[in-house]
Amino acid sequence: MLKEEWLVKHCGGDVITLLRFLDVETYELVGESVMGVLLKDGSVRVQDGQTIRQYFTANTEDAEQVSSIKLMEAEVALYWKVMCMHLQAEAQVKGSEAATTTGTEAAVYASEASDKNDLLDGVLPSTVAEFVDLVKAHLSAGPNYHFASRQLLLLGGMLDFSDSMNRKVASSFLYELLNRPLEHEVDEDGNQIAIGDGVSLGGDLQWAKAVSELAKKVHASIGEFEMVIATVVEELARPCRERTADFMQWMHCLAVTGLLLENTSTLRSLEGTAIRPSEVLQSLLLPAAKQKHVDVQRAALRCLCLFGLLENKPSTELVKQLRLSFINGPDLVSAMASKALIDLVSWHGPQELDQAIGTEPSDANYEKTQFAPVDISDLNDDDLNVGVLSILFSGFHKDDWEFSPEGDNHDNVPTILGEGFAKILLLSENYPSISADLHPVILAQLVRLYFLEESKELGRLKQCLSVFFLHYPSLSEKHKRCVSSAFVPLMRAMWPGIHGNAGGSGPVVSKKRKQAVQAARFMVQMVQSPLFSTETAEQACMSPESLSSSPGPFVNYDISEEGLAIRIAVEVGNSQDKKSAPMKAYALALCKVAVLLRFRQSEQKAIKCMRGLVNTLAASAASDKDLMKELAQMASRLKSLDESPEEELPQDQADAIFEQLGLAGGVKLDAANTVVPPTPAPPRSVRAPPARRRARRAASSSDDSEAEAEGESLDVTSVSQVPATPSVATARAQRASKTAALSKFKSSVKPSLEAASDSEQDEMSGLTTDEDPSDDSDDPDEEES
């Protein structure tokens, strides 16, 4: 990053030029950060004669002096806002230091604080009336000065409103700001289009915050803020309650209502105001949510969410309306409804929302292990047997959501659901009503969403999930267990052509398989990531020898690489019964993942269990020579780690491991712990070259010695039914075929050559007769024939 001093020098020493270079209207936070650094370093200071008052120019030509205001550029307005906030912060720091010290040091700090306050008073407008005139002038200048107006409005928090006259002037100005209609445009057909986000006051969330901060400063007494804002809401709500308001009036009223609810700590503070909480809900928010205009529905749902957060228990009508809007609303409305439901679930818990509407799941046990299968398109409005989490989770499976990256990414339903469920997983301890068995289901869906082709354009979602996946598996053992448990369900859901998944053309299937393989390797990386815990730190201080020789009394295989390898091997074994091409490719892909996992010498039971499952992997990988070599190497490593390689793991102990991993039934371990890549036999239709008997016998003895020396090789019968070397029966069959060929050749030759043919046939009979292999001799003449 370039140093701020160099930037100032590069811009001719003018900080305003620097801010203009940074484009502060687009990168406001960057401009504030650079200004803050320059002010702390002393590179920028208030020069003599510099003040906001210089933008007031007096016109004395008339009999009555009239002041005109020079408009500020966006960079100038940001400069003065940051400068005044810096002076105020320094004055407060010096004042605090003066209050905590005594003697001469306290006097010095007090003097410095007084100097900062005097400098701030000299920079700010001299009166509240001048401040109001300055902001009004920029507001009247149009949308191009909206940014400057917001920067100047924030200066009001530094003014003194203790005087009743100043407070009256500021209160009147606030009333105008709250009643200021939303800015809009008119299209070619004469339709009004609101400018901004459509839910905040002024169409800008930052503007709404600036107005609320000024209102809290002016109306600082207890309950005064709520009283004033509620009065404005009641006035704006009259045409809405009388059903005479257009959509712009609805949006304006809901924007002020949202401002009130967002800055209120409890609904009790609204009791006794111009409009009671029950009236806000029944007469304003619920009717607004049923309006036809999309922007009105979005603003109403945002207010319903804020209202629900203030309630001790969510009301029935509120939850029903949010569910209905999520199910039946357009995409933008469903996005706002999903965001509201996620916020309410995070605040109250899913059980509270379900109890508010009397939800009674048809199968409570199923709800604890799986989300109820819901088709949003066919869900009835009055169907209350489906929990709120099941409804939200079903949003992942809806195919017609818009993934368009246009506008803000948070308007996409998949983005909101992804962020919301990631938050639920991170804070799972706060939601005991959500079964732990649902966590792997949620995690698998988040990984699948992360690798979807449509998600590439959703930058906000990708960034959120990237940070989530980086930290989630390392926070606790529960999270690591969730990652391991989610691996197999994720692969089943992503692999095309199996378990009801759609297939497609060759390129489509290939792309889907690549995505599934990427997701599998990604999950392996999460399993291999270290834990951020005290136990991990203690184990890191131990040497590998002491760590491997000190096994614990109870091993959590479901949080380790060993457990994931066993899960994969069992899944491969259960897939061997299905001989379809997609299933074979699926099993082969799982085998390629299994060889990436590592085993610790301390986990002897897991090592023995995996040695009994290696042949299961090899049976599915027989068609891939490179993979077979990797499996052989894996088997060799497992044998070297096994402290008692001749002893087998009892089936009951293997079943205990399977039960701990949640593998119902498991598979039977293979007693033969030998794995050898198969050597394909030559086709019978191809004539095998004649082999010398002495060489064949030598090769046979050599093979026997190699088989004895090879400690860890794949069992021939467990991999393929094709023998590794040609048998004697095969050789005899080849000789019989030669005899038949010669007989045919004899019948086709001329009679004059019969004598020569007979002599040649007698000479060749030694190669074609069915002789017993035990009669083989080492005669060199026979070898030459």
pLDDT in tens, 555-567: 677 788 989 999 9
Among 211-215, 219-223, 437-441, 726-730, which stretch is predicted with the lowest mean pLDDT? 726-730
More confident residue, 341 or 705: 341
- Cα 549 to its chain centre, rounded Å, is 39
- Start-to-end CA distance of the chain, whole Å, equals 85
- Highest mean pLDDT: which of 17-31, 54-68, 291-305? 291-305
pLDDT of residue 277: 94
Mean pLDDT of 477-498: 92
**Which range has the worst mean pLDDT, 35-49, 331-345, 654-668, 766-780?**
766-780
Q: How confident is the model at residue 675, as a pLDDT?
A: 52
Task: Indicate if the pLDDT at residue 107 is higher than 60.
Answer: yes
Q: What mean pLDDT, rounded, does the chain reach?
A: 80
Residue 674 pLDDT > 70 = no
pLDDT at 769: 36
Q: What is the pLDDT of residue 739?
A: 55
Q: Which of 115-119, 358-362, 623-627, 746-750 has the lowest mean pLDDT?
A: 746-750
What the block records as the tokens of 685 is 């239709």
Count of positions (residues) in the chain: 785
Residues 6+ apart with CB under 8 A from 416: 335, 338, 339, 342, 410
What is the mean predicted confidence (pLDDT) over 340-366?
Answer: 82
Say which residue the tokens 């002495």 belong to. Answer: 694
Q: Is 407 left (phi over 0), alpha (psi -120 to 50) or beta?
A: left
- CA-based max dimension of the chain: 148
Higher pLDDT, 61 or 356: 356
Q: Is the model more confident about 485 or about 16?
A: 485
Q: What is the pLDDT of residue 196?
A: 87
Mind listing the pLDDT tens digit for each residue in 147-158?
999 999 999 999
pLDDT digits (tens, 9 = 90+) for 598-640: 998 888 888 989 988 888 889 888 888 999 999 999 999 999 9
Percentage of the chain beyond pLDDT 90 is: 44
> Both tokens of residue 529?
């990531």
Place 730 in a pLDDT band, splitting at 50, 70 and 90.
Answer: very low
pLDDT at 377 over 80: no
What is the reported pLDDT for 406? 45
Sign of CA dihedral 197, 200, 202, 204: negative
Q: Is the Cα torsion angle 523, 529, 532, 533 positive or negative in sign?
A: positive
Helices and strands counted in the chain (H then E):
37, 4
Which of 44-58, 407-421, 517-531 has the highest mean predicted lDDT (pLDDT)?
517-531
